[in-house]
Amino acid sequence: MSYPETYRYTKEHEWVHLENGIATVGITDHAQSELGDIVYVDLPKPGATVQTGQSFGSVESVKAVSDIYAPVAGEVIAANDDLATAPEKLNEDPHGAAWLIRVKVADGTDLGNLMNAADYESYIGAEH
């Protein structure tokens, strides 16, 4: 699966896509493949605030739980409810339909310290 050029990536394997002050956050294809079959996704409710680098939820496989860390700070304006009933979507389309949350970020939020697609791909390549 390809890593979209317009996204930015974290070392903890989250992606973020910033458009018009709204950041959409998900986990990468690499992350879902490491986790295996995802059985449950725990997400914050709209209205919650998230802090950069802090855990805002978790994803579970049968025998593991992984925290998800926020790449940006702001207020959660939407969580992907589909994942509650169909967590398998996270295995199928992690960069698209299975986004996790949308966050309204402060003006001037800078993603410059995150990796672009090429850097991320070489990062996960080096991990092995």
Using the rule CB under 8 A, give the single segment among 19-27, 55-63, 102-110, 114-122 that binds another protein. 55-63
Q: Per-residue DSSP letters for 41-90? A: EE-PPTT-EE-TTSEEEEEEESS-EEEEE-SS-EEEEEE-THHHH-TTHH
| CA dist., res. 53 & res. 89, Å (int) | 25
Q: How far is the CB of 38 from another protein (least distance, A)?
A: 8
Q: Is 20 helix (H, G, I), strand (E, B) or coil?
A: coil
Q: Is 87 in the site for another protein (CB under 8 A)?
A: yes
Q: Is 63 in the site for another protein (CB under 8 A)?
A: yes
| Sole binder of another protein in the list 4, 33, 46, 65 (CB under 8 A) | 65
Q: Is 84 in the site for another protein (CB under 8 A)?
A: no
Q: How far is the CB of 37 from another protein (least distance, A)?
A: 4
